[in-house]
Amino acid sequence: MKIALVSPYDFAHPGGVVLHISCLEHYFTRMGHEVKVIAPASRAVPDFGDRFIPIGRPRPIPSSGSIARVTISIWLAPKIRAVLEREKFDIIHFHEPLMPMLCTSILRLSKTANVGTFHASYGKPGYNFARPIGRWILRRWFRKLDGKIAVSKPAMEFASANFPGYYNIIPNGVDVGHFSPDVAPIEEFKDGKLNILFVSRLEKRKGLNYLLEAFKQVKEEIPDSRLIIVGPGTRLRRKYERYVARSGLKDVVFVGLVSYDELPRYYQTADVFCAPAIGSESFGIILLEAMAMSKPIVASNIEGYASVISHGVDGLLVPPADKNKLAQALISLLNDEALRKEMGAKGRIKALEHSWERISQRVFDYYVRVLREPPWNKKFPESKTTAVSV
C-alpha cells in the first residue's frame, strides 16, 4: 500500500505528534509498504531520505500556553497538487487533520481515501488556533475524512465536542526495544542518590514549577535525592534556575534537550519518574516510555494521564498543581524500594501492550477497513458520537 503521513508541525522539532508519525513510518516501511511523510521543516530531515517531502516553512505560533510550529502560508496548493499527482497515494493519514494550513490544504485537494488522527485534548494547540478561519469551513473539510482516530478518550471527547462523528480510539505506542531496561544508566548520576526524573518541554502547563516546590519538601525528608530535568526550553528554564538559586535548593540538574538515542539512559538513571502537568494532556507518551523502562511513576491525576496510569498499580496519581500531595507521593515511593520495583514491573507489562509493532498493525488494519467500507461520515450521522477501539 502507498501511504502518506501528514504532519502540520515542524518535523525537525521534537514533539509527540512528530514521534508518533516517525514510528508509524518506521513500522509501515518494515511491513513492506511505501510510505512518505509530508510536513513543514525548519531544517533538513536526513534520517528519512526521499521518504520525507517538505512542504511549507514552519512559524512559531503561540497557542494555548504552548507553541505550535506550523506553516501559515496560503500558497501551498501548487506544490501539493504536484505531489499528489506524482505519488498517487492509496491513503492519506492526517495527524491533527484540521490544523491549518498544510493538513487542511492537502485534505481539501485530496482525491483519495483520507484518515485523520486527533491527538489534542482541551486547551492544547489545535482548533482554537483555527477559529479565525471559521468553524463552518473546518466542518466542510471534516466531512472529507473517511476515517477518524483519536489517541485516547479525552482526545475523542475534545474532537467530538467540536466535530461530532464516529471515532476509533487507537492509543499512542512506544518502542519497547529502544526504551528497554537493558540500557546503561548515566554514570555520573549513579552515586547512591535517589533520582527523580522529569522529561518534557519547559512550558508552564507541564507543571515543573510545582515539582520544584515539591522537591524542596522531598530534600528535607530525603537529603540524598536529586531532581534531573530533561527537555528543551529557554525562557522558563532561566526562570526555574533563578528559583533554584534563590531557594538554595541543591541537587537540581538542568540537562536540556537530549537525543532520542540518549533518552533511555536518563530513564534508566531514574528511581522515580514524575509527570506533574496541570492539564491539556490527551495521553502522555512520556508515561509509556517510563513504563517501558520499568520505572514507577508519580503523575498528575488529569484525564489524559489517568487513561494510562492505574493508581496504586503502576504509579501514583495526585491532584494537579498540589505541591504537597506531589511531595508526599514522591517521598512514599523513594522510601519504598520494593514498591518501586513492583510498580515498575507492572508498568513494563502495560507498555508491551502498547508496542509500536502492535499499534501500527491496528492502524493499518483500520486503513483496510476504510478502503473496504463506505465513508464513515456517510455511514454514521454527524449528530452521533461513537468511540470504538480497533
Q: Which CATH superfamily is domain 2-173+356-389 in?
A: Glycogen Phosphorylase B; (3.40.50.2000)
CA nearest 17: which of 93, 87, 112?
Answer: 93
The half-sphere exposure of 272 on its side-chain side, counting CA atoms within 13 A, is 31
Query: What whole-number distance in Å separates Cα of residue 50 and Cα of residue 37?
Result: 9
For 262-295, what is each residue's pLDDT tens digit? 999 999 999 999 999 998 788 889 999 999 999 9
The half-sphere exposure of 228 on its side-chain side, counting CA atoms within 13 A, is 25
The answer to whether domain 2-173+356-389 and domain 187-353 are alike in fold is yes
pLDDT at 377: 44
β-pairing, 59-63 vs 66-70, is antiparallel
For 189-240, what is each residue's pLDDT tens digit? 999 999 999 999 899 999 999 999 999 999 999 999 999 999 998 889 999 9
CB 96 within 8 A of CB 118: yes
Examine the pLDDT at 296 and tell me if it is beyond 70. yes
Beta carbons within 8 Å of 182's beta carbon, 6+ residues apart: none
SS3 state at 169: strand
Beta bridge mates, 388: 168
Query: What whole-number distance in Å separates Cα of residue 81 and Cα of residue 61?
Result: 26
For 34-85, what is each residue's pLDDT tens digit? 999 999 999 999 999 999 999 999 998 876 556 789 998 989 999 999 999 9
Q: 10 Å Cβ neighbour count for 280? A: 23
CA nearest 207: which of 186, 236, 179?
Answer: 236
DSSP letters along 207-261, please? -HHHHHHHHHHHHHH-SSEEEEEES--SHHHHHHHHHHHHHT--SEEEEE---TT
In the 8-state DSSP scheme, what is residue 301?
-
Query: What whole-number distance in Å separates Cα of residue 368 and Cα of residue 373?
Result: 9
The answer to whether the predicted template modeling score (pTM) of the entire model surpasses 0.85 is yes
Q: Average pLDDT of the chain?
A: 91
* 297 phi/psi in degrees, rounded to 5: -130, 140
Percent of the chain with pLDDT over 90: 79
Grid cell in block for residue 82: 504536484
Length of the chain: 390
Question: For domain 187-353, which architecture applies?
Answer: 3-Layer(aba) Sandwich (3.40)
CB 42 within 8 A of CB 11: no
Where along the chain do its domains lie? 2-173+356-389, 187-353
pLDDT at 300: 98
> Residue 129's pLDDT band (boundaries 50, 70, 90)?
very low
Beta carbons within 8 Å of 43's beta carbon, 6+ residues apart: 12
Residue with cell 471559521: 134
pLDDT at 390: 53
